Structure 1
Amino acid sequence: MSCPLCQSANTSSHYHTDKKREYLQCCECDLVYVSPEFLPSKETEKQEYDLHENSFDDDGYRKFLGKVLTPLSPFIKATKAPELSGLDFGCGPAPVLASMLSEEGVNMSIYDPFYAASPQVLEQSYNIVTCTEAIEHFHSPHKEWALFNKLVAPGGVLAIMTKRVLDKARFASWHYKNDITHVSFFSKRTFQYLAQRDGYDVSFPANDVVLMKKR
């Protein structure tokens, strides 16, 4: 079996089993992931996503997304805003973060395989690419990661929000893994591995936010 992120062969071993699924971990990139036979169908995913009630006038949700916007602000201010382009990847049915970045003067585009499947926006590069609470849903994250490497312009920033794996003991009681659509779990070491391999400077401004600046 190959790791769904780094594609290393025969580097994964058992990590955890609960009542619903088995989880494996790659010893090369540290990714923890659901064993393939337990991956949900597209129909199941869509049913779950349709239950989300995020909206543009939800102050709590805007505050939550501020954890990504706040560390991006210095990058936005350092560049003349009208010249900045951005893509919110995995924006969901309500692209609130894209709206917030537009308010900051960033020329935003959106993409989501379920709600905004516009492949033409994936044909160019951007100064800012955001992926909030989406990367943990990727069944084959090596595909999206290769796409991110093309989407982020040199000197640009990839901003990701996802809760990170800490250790086996805490994983066992971690509520985050119980969402049936959460199938790929990243650790700090996973992002450091990707940064070193693909030419990014990485920082961790919050316990569920990572910024990767392309060299």
Structure 2
Amino acid sequence: MNTCKLCGLNKVTPLIIPHDKRIYNYCPDCYLIFVDSTFHIDLQQEKRLILRRNNSIGNAEYVHYISQIIQLIRPFIYQGQIGLDYGCGPTPTLNHLLKKENITCFNNDYNFGFNHPFKKYDFIMAIECLEKFKDPNNEIDKLLDLLKPGGIFGMMTEVYPTKDNFKYWNKKLDPSHVSFYHQKTLDYLIANKKLTLLKSDSKRIFIFEKQ
């Protein structure tokens, strides 16, 4: 029997969606929905998908998109602090935008050769990378371990509406997306990962403080 990749519950239920080749599992405890591991794509396939996108400083639409999380996190980060763009992709953009405000943000994405230089950071931003976590419990722990106590964690990951409406949700269509979060999943993170929710848009942007 599959166990939940976040909370470890061993009573997850299969979630079969008509005309979808992938099999999903639903956790009734933390509400995580995750793709069965037999349907995970390999690293090279994932990299090819990412490289097809124009997520760069030269794409005005993308810049506008990620500027939304900067607007929400900005009141909680300051000049002189050191931040990290966790899962920055092949063409980092966030660091360029924050540099305009005299805020330093390093890039981290092992898949594309970006390795962070410090052990701890004042803030970490993860833009659309939690969906790619195949082992979300361990990977979220690894991310938060890089954050100083009292540090700020900005997460940009759209939460799914309901279990029944998940089948209509287009975020699941990306083959590299294997973990999907609900508002109840975030409640689990707050309770179990020593986080305090500071601000959110209740849809895809959530700003936390590490206790």
Q: Same fold (TM over 0.5)?
A: yes
Aligned to 1:14: 14
Question: When the two structures are aligned, how many residues end up with a matched partner?
Answer: 208
Q: Percent identity?
A: 27
1:88–1:109 CA contact under 8 A, matched in 2: yes
Aligned to 1:151: 146
1:128–1:158 CA contact under 8 A, matched in 2: yes
RMSD between aligned residues: 1.6
Aligned to 1:112: 109
Aligned to 1:187: 182
Equivalent AA in structure 2 for residue 96 of structure 1 = T
Aligned to 2:134: 139
Q: Does residue 164 of the first structure (1) align with residue 165 of the second (2)?
A: no
2:82–2:104 CA contact under 8 A, matched in 1: yes
109-118 vs 85-94, greater mean Cα deviation: 109-118
Q: Does residue 174 of the first structure (1) align with residue 169 of the second (2)?
A: yes
Normalization by structure 1: what TM-score?
0.90
CA shift digits 1:6-29 (9 cap, x unpaired): 2x1413112333421111111222
Aligned to 1:211: 207
Equivalent AA in structure 1 for residue 85 of structure 2 = D
**Partner-residue secondary structure (3-state), 1:114:** helix
Aligned to 1:98: 95
1:16–1:168 CA contact under 8 A, matched in 2: no
1:128–1:152 CA contact under 8 A, matched in 2: yes
Task: Specify which of 82, 85, 91 is matched with residue 82 of structure 2.
Answer: 85
Structure 1 portions without partners, runs of 5+: none
Equivalent AA in structure 1 for residue 90 of structure 2 = P
1:127–1:153 CA contact under 8 A, matched in 2: yes
Task: Spell out structure 1 runs of 4+ moving beyond 3 A.
Answer: none
CA shift digits 1:158-204 (9 cap, x unpaired): 11111111112321111111111111001111111111112111142
Aligned to 1:47: 48
Within 1, Cα distance between the matches of 2:41 and 2:127?
20
* Greater helix fraction, Structure 1 or Structure 2: 1
1:110–1:116 CA contact under 8 A, matched in 2: no
Q: Offset at 1:206?
A: 4.6
**Partner-residue secondary structure (3-state), 1:169:** coil
